[in-house]
């Protein structure tokens, strides 16, 4: 698949690049995408919710009333979960929600999303650029030129574009990621994926 290369003003440069079929032309695997997104979201959970059970409550262990003859249910100490201020039955405890996912599945998931976006013509290739200093206005102008203002976009760059990343931080729905750090959730959440021309080889090398 050939895609026109655009400049930062959204104009065609007259050049085309070929998207590698091993990354942008595979049959999407929806289950791999589901697993990778689930893995990403699970890893974002803190898992720090905690309640005290009966054994962790500081209170008297004296028996509240005699065992029999009261006409009501028997009761032990005030630390019981049925008492006000007592422990919680089966409350949440600190835990790790993350789970292991094979690297091959993650690569397959990301290639699946990129292939789907390619079929939907939701991928733009931008010639390599950089900003001399972090400026939000410059990135806003870039989005305007690409007609992506107000849309969810993801720009894939290499590690050298730190100023581009800093310029996009204050813009809603505009994300910037490196090829090494991009995840399936960000790819599938973006309406349009913008790839710097120099990052295409990195994508091919990373996912193959």
What residues does each domain of the chain span? Answer: 2-46+97-207, 51-91
| Contact present, 98 and 5 (Cβ < 8 Å) | no
Taking the C-alpha atoms of residue 18 and residue 47, their distance in angstroms, rounded to an integer, is 44
DSSP string, the chain: -EEEEE-TTS-EEEEEEEPPHHHHSSPP-HHHHHHHHHHHHHHH---------GGG--S----SS-SSSSSS-----TTSTTSTT-PPTT------------HHHHHHHHHHHHHHHHHTT-EEEE-----SS--HHHHHHHHHHTT-TTS-EEEEE-TT-HHHHHHHTTSTTEEEEETTT--HHHHHH-SEEEEETTHHHHHHHHH-
pLDDT score recorded for residue 47: 92
| Residue 126 pLDDT level (bands cut at 50, 70, 90) | very high
Percent of the chain with pLDDT over 70: 100
**pLDDT of residue 67 exceeding 90:** yes
pLDDT at 161 (0 to 100) = 77
**pLDDT confidence bin for 120, thresholds 50/70/90:** very high
pLDDT at 125 over 80: yes
Closest CA to 108 of 34, 48, 3, 41: 34
- At residue 89, the pLDDT reads 94
**What is the CB neighbour count within 10 angstroms for residue 97?**
12
- In terms of Cβ atoms closer than 10 Å to its own Cβ (0-12, 13-18, 19+), residue 129 is middle
Q: Indicate whether this model's pTM tops 0.85.
A: no
Q: What is the pLDDT confidence band of residue 2, given thresholds at 50, 70 and 90?
A: confident
Residue 49: predicted pLDDT:
95
Domain covering 2-46+97-207 assigned CATH 3.40.1370.10 in the classification: yes
The average confidence (pLDDT) of the chain is 92
pLDDT at residue 192, rounded to an integer: 94
pLDDT at 3: 87
Using 50, 70 and 90 to split pLDDT, how confident is the model at 13? Answer: confident
pLDDT in tens, 17-43: 989 999 999 999 999 999 999 999 999
């Amino acid at each position: 698949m050939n895609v026109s290369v655009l400049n930062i003003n959204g104009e065609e440069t007259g050049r085309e690049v070929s998207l590698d079929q091993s990354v942008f032309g595979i049959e999407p695997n929806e289950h791999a995408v589901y697993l990778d997104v689930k893995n990403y979201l699970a890893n974002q959970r803190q898992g720090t919710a905690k309640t005290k059970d009966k054994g962790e409550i500081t209170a008297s262990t004296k028996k509240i009333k005699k065992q029999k003859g009261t006409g009501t249910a028997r009761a032990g100490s005030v630390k019981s979960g049925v008492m006000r201020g007592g422990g919680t039955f089966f409350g949440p405890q600190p835990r790790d929600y993350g789970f292991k996912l094979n690297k091959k599945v993650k690569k397959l998931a990301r290639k699946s999303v990129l292939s789907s976006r390619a079929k939907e013509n939701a991928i733009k290739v931008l010639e390599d650029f950089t900003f001399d200093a972090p400026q939000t206005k410059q990135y806003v102008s870039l989005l305007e030129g690409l007609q992506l203002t107000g849309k969810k976009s993801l720009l894939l760059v290499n590690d050298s574009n730190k100023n581009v990343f800093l310029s996009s931080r204050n813009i809603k729905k505009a994300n910037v990621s490196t090829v090494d750090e991009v995840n399936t959730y960000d790819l599938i959440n973006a309406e349009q994926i913008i790839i710097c021309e120099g990052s295409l080889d990195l994508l091919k090398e990373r996912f193959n």
